[in-house]
Amino acid sequence: MTVRTDTRWDAAFWHQQIVALPRARFLPDLIWPHDMSTRSARAVDRRSDPDGWQAATRADVPVVTQWDDGRHTGTEPGTTPTSSASMPSVVATMLEAADLAPGQRVLEVGTGTGWTAGLMTRRLGDAAVTTMEVDPDVAAAAKNALGGTGLFPRMVVGDGLAGFPDGAPYDRLISTMGIRDIPAAWLEQVRPGGLIVTPWGTQYSNRDALAVLTVNDKTTATGLLLQQLEFMKARSQRHVHPAFAPDLTPVTDTTVEVDPSLFDRWHPFVFIAGLLLNDTTHAVQQHDDGGRTLWLYALDGTAWTAALLRPEATTATIRQVGQRRLWDELTNAHTWWCQGGEPGFGRLGITVTSTGWTAWIDTPDHPMSKS
């Protein structure tokens, strides 16, 4: 058991640290704060709008600092945001969840601007923190910003999915990028009883949950999914778009009564569906007339489904194509979830091994699906 020599480093503590080490010290002149109401980003440049820039750095929103792995230029948002300073309240939540204490050694994966590494380094010391970033330009800017605040954690440019064995074993591994497959290297490099704190989810959507996993031994870890998040994904684990053979059979067309919440792209069930439907991804297409099409795709390209819900309608037309009846799988999963009292974050958990994951409800001996 860890004996604390300090008061607990909870979210309120980390909010104080955030005031003491403002995010502004880690941000470039040109940033794209995320507008939570429109779910879009807009450019703010310190050189032309210093007050707007300062306000954006203090706002409780994620701030994009790079698009399209650095290939994007100009002020218009690019296609995919690929580096950022995370939302301050989420940073505080993740640092609280990591249950950090003096004397611990931490590996952070996804340095980004260096701000989260800086917050941890101020409390734990330079020698206790290692941070990894895959993008050399992003890493160089972070190193510069950290050095400018007198902080010198160990900085490693490389693929954080491999971890950094030279510094192992770690007491904590904190990932600030979304993960689809927890790497075996992370299980090996965190000591038994140590924690992995990471946004985690499935290929069903871009949604993540905050996973707080206790490492049991070098091959397994288990823990709760605490709340919904959405993080930029690890470079090699971004959303996939399966390719389909044009002549898949059989084809089934039906018209059925539907629950419109299945067509709501922000509904909590979207994340749950990813736990229950194996190897499936989805998209919701919004039509100009207010109608929506829910697309479901088998990741191996052997099946797809399109469900069209017209405005104000309570029935949808469903086309199911290929070897799996994906609409039937989705509605069965939805019925199961509703009848089970809609278990959500805080009750759901996962157990990961070096080869996959199992989701569970309340305790690991109540599995709900298998990868």
Stretch that binds ligand SAM, among 105-113, 303-311, 323-331, 353-361 (CB under 6 A): 105-113
Does residue 138 bind ligand SAM (CB under 6 A)?
yes
> For this structure, is 86 an active site residue?
yes
3-state secondary structure the chain: CCCCCCCCCCHHHHHHHHHHCCHHHHCCCEEEEEECCCCEECCEECCCCHHHHHHHHHCCCCEEEEEHHHCCCCCCCCCCEEEEECCHHHHHHHHHHCCCCCCCCEEEECCCCCHHHHHHHHHHCHHHEEEEECCHHHHHHHHHHHHHCCCCCEEEECCHHHCCHHHCCEEEEEECCEECCCCHHHHHHEEEEEEEEEEECCCCCCCEEEEEEEECCCCEEEEEEEEEECCCECHHHCCCCCCCCCCCCCEEEEEEECCHHHHCCCCCHHHHHHHHCCCEEEEEEECCCCCEEEEEEECCCCEEEEEEECCCCCEEEEEEEECCCHHHHHHHHHHHHHHCCCCCCCCEEEEEECCEEEEEECCCCCEEEEC
> Which residue number, 78 or 322, has a Cβ lying nearer to ligand SAM?
78
Does residue 173 bind ligand SAM (CB under 6 A)?
no
Cβ-contact 291, 306 below 8 angstroms: no
CA 262 – CA 239 distance, rounded (Å): 20
Between 262 and 301, how does the x/- string for binding to ligand SAM read (CB under 6 A)? Answer: ----------------------------------------
- From candidates 159, 188, 230, 259, binder to ligand SAM by CB under 6 A: 159
> Which residue number, 161 or 368, has a Cβ lying nearer to ligand SAM?
161
CB of 193 to ligand SAM, least distance (A): 24
- Which residue is closest to ligand SAM by CB? 112
Footprint on residues 15-54 left by ligand SAM (CB under 6 A): none
Stretch that binds ligand SAM, among 133-141, 188-196, 257-265, 328-336 (CB under 6 A): 133-141
Among candidate residues 37, 40, 83, 86, the one labeled active-site is: 86
CB of 229 to ligand SAM, least distance (A): 11
Does residue 167 bind ligand SAM (CB under 6 A)?
no
Does residue 121 bind ligand SAM (CB under 6 A)?
no
CB of 293 to ligand SAM, least distance (A): 31
- From candidates 195, 234, 284, 350, binder to ligand SAM by CB under 6 A: 234
Does residue 85 bind ligand SAM (CB under 6 A)?
yes
- From candidates 231, 263, 271, 357, binder to ligand SAM by CB under 6 A: 231
Does residue 146 bind ligand SAM (CB under 6 A)?
no
Contact set with ligand SAM (CB under 6 A)? 82-86, 109-110, 112-113, 115-116, 132-135, 138, 159-161, 176-177, 231-232, 234-235
Instruction: Show which residues are catalytic.
Output: 86
